[in-house]
Amino acid sequence: MGEQVNLKKSILLTILYTMLALLVGFGILVLIMCFGFTSSLAAFMKDVGCYNMASGLYYRSYEKSGEIDYCYQALCLKVNLGDDDKIVEYYESYIGDDDYEQYSQDKLKSVEGVEGGVLAKSTMLTEEYYLASKYVNALIAQGSSDKAWQVAIDSIIAMDEINLYSQGNYLLSKFVGEDNSKFNEKYEGMDNILIVEMQECFDEAILLFDNNKDSVSSNTDRAYLMALGNRIITLGQDINKIYETLGEETTNIASNLNSMLEVNNKIKGLI
Could you give the CA distance from residue 203 to residue 171 in angstroms, rounded to a whole number?
A: 17
Over the chain (271 residues), what is each successive 10-residue block's mean pLDDT? 58 72 64 62 85 92 93 96 96 96 90 80 88 95 91 88 87 77 65 83 93 88 92 92 76 87 88 71
Q: Taking Cα atoms as reference points, which of 129, 86, 136 lies closest to residue 104?
A: 129
pTM of the entire structure? 0.80
* Structural domains of the chain, with CATH: 33-98 (1.25.40), 117-271 (no CATH)
- Spell out the residues 6+ positions from residue 116 whose beta carbon is closer than 8 angstroms to its own: 219
- Spell out the residues 6+ positions from residue 81 whose beta carbon is closer than 8 angstroms to its own: 51, 52, 55
What is the pLDDT, as a whole number, of residue 269?
A: 82
Q: How far from the centroid of its chain's Cα atoms is residue 78's Cα?
A: 11
What is the pLDDT, as a whole number, of residue 204?
A: 93
